[in-house]
Amino acid sequence: MPALDLSATSVDLTRTICDIPSVSGDEAALADAIEASLRDLPHLDLYRDGDTIVARTDRGRAQRVVIAGHIDTVPINGNVPTRDIALDGRPHIWGRGTVDMKAGVAVQLKLAAELVDPRVDITWMWYDHEEVDADLNGLTRLSATRPDLFAGDFAILGEPSNGEVEGGCNGNLRAIVRTNGVRSHSARAWVGENAIHKAAPVLARLAEYRPREVPVEGLLYREGLNAVRISGGVAGNVIPDLCEVEVNYRFAPSRTTEDAARHVRDVFAGFEVEVVDLAAGARPGLDAPLAQEFVAAVGAEPRPKYGWTDVARFSALGVPAVNYGPGDPHLAHHDEERVPVDQIEGVERGLRAWLTGS
């Protein structure tokens, strides 16, 4: 894979890297291109772990900022290669990854190449496997092998935020709620016990559930508890003996993971509940001096991040972190994923101005 042309505009870079498929588990080609494009830049120290690339300045500055973005996408569904479209006269780039989050990565790559003498030292991270289970995440792996690379006074994730600043993030829990029955022939259903029918109260509790809105450090986070998958059944003539309802709980960063797990078990009291994935949220961290400088410099009004992002990893390490990137998060993973060109340019201007003090 040839090196990327980092002298191109961030808009052109967005098109280029979106047209390099990098569905989770298949990021090597894009990682190779990123590494090749940065390898010969003398102001950056380069490190690679799997398909995660880290580039660092070392100018002896008093403060260090970590700026990160993931290079993988959800599966492609006829939306690569990219194409240029206009909506209400506003130019957009359409295609998989334009929102989540290759436009943000393009901005980061261009600035990494051009900011030879920033006012703070910068650790740039481009990592793999963000769109899948947390134990596969490139930052999970990197934090185990090189925790020193996460040191910083402030962190920015290039997750889509419509070019605004989104502080912290909700936590994320997935659990399986199980019901058990007894198999029998469906012609003699009274001999068995139908596990799918027993799941009706689980669904009723979900339908009746009213999620909270929780203020945390001046931002209002919205929670949610929803069924995302249901499975059960053996054959067309068998009463099923097992039904599983997978539920997803998005919880405010004021809750601990223990609180979140306890809450889900309370909601489904009387049922077997297995927590299968659990990640803490991140408090906004907007009281940190660098965070306040950043918000003022980019002229944004901070908002809460409802989805889980890797800002939580930095928050857990004591590094305040925010989300800041082009693209509407409502279009992440959407088949009509598209990013406004002016948001790409605006995020580049904002980051450049803050990192150079100009």
Active site residues: 72, 130
Paired with 339 in beta bridges are 93
Structure tokens at 307: 């989805």
Give the span between the Cα atoms of 45 and 43, in whole angstroms. 7
Element containing residue 346 per DSSP (H, E): helix 341-356
The sheet that has 321-324: what strands, in order across it?
45-49, 52-56, 121-127, 64-70, 154-157, 321-324, 165-167, 303-304
Task: Give the angle subtended at the CA of 38 by the CAs of 35 and 44, to the nearest 5°.
Answer: 120
- Residue 171: count other Cβ atoms within 10 Å of its Cβ: 25
Q: Are 109 and 6 in contact (CB under 8 A)?
A: yes
Strands 321-324 and 154-157: parallel
Where are any strands of DSSP class E within the chain?
45-49, 52-56, 64-70, 83-87, 90-94, 121-127, 154-157, 165-167, 171-180, 184-185, 213-216, 219-222, 224-232, 238-239, 242-251, 272-279, 303-304, 321-324, 338-340
Residue pointed to by tokens 């997750």: 159
Residue type, 236: G
Where are any strands of DSSP class E within 73-163?
83-87, 90-94, 121-127, 154-157
Q: What is the DSSP letter of 23?
A: B
Spell out the residues 6+ positions from residue 138 whose beta carbon is closer than 8 angstroms to its own: 49, 50, 51, 52, 70, 127, 128, 129, 130
Rg for the chain, CA atoms, rounded = 23
